């Protein structure tokens, strides 16, 4: 396997998805690591730190990795 391919796989394995949660009531947003089986608009067990209302998954994404030369 070429070095470039092995570097690609190494970087792909280090990707950490982020879930953005939003409060149903006050619309407060926060980020936390993605948990398995989450999807957009799913209600989660997390409570809003401001008003203690239920939260849901607003978005799931990863931050772009800096290019290595």
For 13-68, the pLDDT digits (tens) are 778 899 999 999 999 999 999 999 999 999 999 999 999 999 999 999 998 776 66
Between 6 and 43, residue with greater pLDDT: 43
CA distance readout (Å), 66 to 3, 6, 27: 18, 17, 31
Is 0.85 surpassed by the pTM of this model? no
- The per-residue pLDDT for 30 is 96
Distance of alpha carbon 28 from alpha carbon 24, whole angstroms: 8
- Number of H helices and number of E strands within the chain? 1, 4
d(CA 52, CA 50): 6
What is the reported pLDDT for 16? 87
**CA atoms of 21 and 33, how far apart (whole Å):** 10
Between 36 and 7, name the one with better pLDDT: 36
């Amino acid at each position: 396997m070429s070095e470039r391919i092995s570097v690609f796989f190494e970087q792909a394995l280090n990707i950490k998805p982020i879930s953005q949660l939003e409060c149903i009531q006050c619309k407060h947003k926060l980020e936390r690591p993605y948990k398995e089986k989450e999807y957009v608009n799913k209600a989660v067990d997390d409570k809003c730190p401001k008003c203690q209302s239920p939260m849901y998954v607003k978005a799931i994404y990863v931050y772009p990795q800096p290019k290595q030369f």
